[in-house]
Each structure stands twice: as structure tokens, then as C-alpha cells.
Amino acid sequence: MENNNSGEHKTNDDRLTDIFSSVGRQYRLTDVTAQFVAFRDLKIRWQRSYKMADFMVSDYLDDAPDGILWDFADTIIAKIFAENDSDYSNSVIEWISSDGFRARKQPIYLRRSKNLTRSPVGREKNLLDSYGRLVDDGLVEEDPGLCISWMKSATARKIGHCSVVMDVVALSGALDDAHVPDFVLDYCLYHELCHVKIGFDPSGRGHDQKFAGLEDMYPRRSEAVEWLRRVDMFV
């Protein structure tokens, strides 16, 4: 939930700094600051110089329990010092992957995504029709929390993008054209939905193999990819 009360937001930043400072002391960091920042995506940035470090953490985490932030901070700082290459803890992954997180944060993500129309209905194509065909064919399961949207740009050569954490899939406006065959549009949507189906995987390990297996399930994949290649678009 977005917080526009500066006092409460300051308190939240103090809470974050306290947690990162406590973890940082284990690595001999003596001057640590941290703040929540309104990034569009769920991410973290940091700057470090000798014993000083400053962390800018996505404010999608501003309502996380202290335990989640402790685990998050421990993973990030350990990676900075190359002492731990492990993934986020199960508790962090479960919290970020929860239905409650998505319900609270997806509307914020959509407001910040200025390149989205926030609608599946285009000039020529309705992405809900495409989604319905994929569901009917058994390629995907219906997801009531999923947001499907067109991108505003009709010049993008990449077919689209998705946010797995936010359960948002968007396709390039260049595909919103009567000349685009339905099987090509369906493949493009399916391609992005495969990422969502695999779920949040910060390590990326195993993603490629799982993704390839899912993509191969689309009956006319090769034909769709070839059609896209001819019009200079790519996945």
C-alpha cells in the first residue's frame, strides 16, 4: 500500500535503516543508510564505499514484517561481500509470491507503468479472446488475478514483457493489427504467460529448461516464430 504520510514513511525508512545497519555490522559496515524508493519494478540499488553503504529498496516491501526485511537484508549484503550466493530465504520468496502481496502491489505497479494502456482491448484485437483460446486449449489455467494489457507503443519490436511478481502481462501494440493471425497473437501471449506460470525465481536456475518445455507445448510455435521473424519482431 502506498503511504503518503511523510512521518510514517520516515519511520518506515528508520526501520529499514535499523535492520540493514544491524546486518551490516556483521560485515564491519559502520555507516549504513536505507530508504524505500518508489521504483516501478521490485528491485534494490546500493552504493558502497569502504565501511559505508546506502541502500535504496523498492517500496513494494515497505509493509513487509521485520523478519522478512532481515532475511532480505542478510541475502543482499552477503552477496555484496561475495560471502553467500544463496537465493532469498523461503520466507521472503513466499511473502513476495503470495496472493496478498499481488493484490496490494499490482495496482501500484500498473499506475507506475506509463507504457501500458491497462486494458486488454485494442483497436483490432482483444487479448481476452486470445487468453480464452489458450485456456480452452488447456495450455494455461485461468488466473483471476492476472492483468493482461496492451502496451501503448506500436513500434516495439519485442513482442511484450511481463512482471511475474505482479502477475502482469503486456503485449506490444504492434500486434494489435488485423493482419496478425490469431495463432501468432496467441503464441505471443502464451510466451509471456510461460514466465508467469514458472513463478518467481530470483536465482534463474532451472528457468530455461522449464520455459523451453512449456513453450514446446504450443502447437504452432515454429510457425509463429517464423511469422514474427518475417515482420522483424522477436520474443
Write out 160-227 in H/E/C secondary structure. Answer: EEEECCCCEEEECHHHCCCCCCHHHHHHHHHHHHHHHHHCCCCCCCCHHHHHHHHHCCCCCHHHHHHH
Please list, in sequence order, all residues whose beta carbon lies within 8 angstroms of the beta carbon of residue 19, skipping any fewer than 6 positions away. Answer: 34, 66, 69, 70, 73
Domain shared by 84 and 165, yes or no: no
Q: List per-residue pLDDT tens for the chain, 235 residues long.
A: 344 444 444 579 999 999 999 999 999 999 999 999 999 999 999 999 989 999 999 999 999 999 999 999 999 999 898 866 667 899 999 999 999 999 999 999 999 999 999 999 999 999 999 999 999 999 999 999 999 999 998 887 899 999 999 999 999 999 999 999 999 999 999 999 999 999 988 776 656 778 889 999 999 999 999 999 999 999 8
In a domain, 55, yes or no: yes
Domain shared by 62 and 43, yes or no: yes
In a domain, 151, yes or no: yes
Domain shared by 129 and 56, yes or no: no
Domain shared by 171 and 92, yes or no: no
What is the Cα–Cα distance from 175 to 139, expressed in whole angstroms?
A: 21
In a domain, 165, yes or no: yes
Domain shared by 51 and 111, yes or no: no
pLDDT at 205: 63
Q: Where does residue 32 rank: exposed (0-12), middle (13-18), buried (19+ CB within 10 A)?
A: buried
Q: Which of residues 67, 96, 125 is at a domain's end?
A: 96
Range of the domain at 130: 103-229
Q: What domain count does the chain have?
A: 2
Domain shared by 182 and 200, yes or no: yes
Q: Which of residues 69, 96, 123 is at a domain's end?
A: 96
> For position 166, which CATH number holds?
3.30.2010.10
Q: Which of residues 72, 96, 120 is at a domain's end?
A: 96
- Per-residue pLDDT tens for 105-121? 999 999 999 999 999 99
pLDDT at 85: 65
What's the one-letter identity of residue 178? A
pLDDT at 10: 56
Domain shared by 73 and 166, yes or no: no
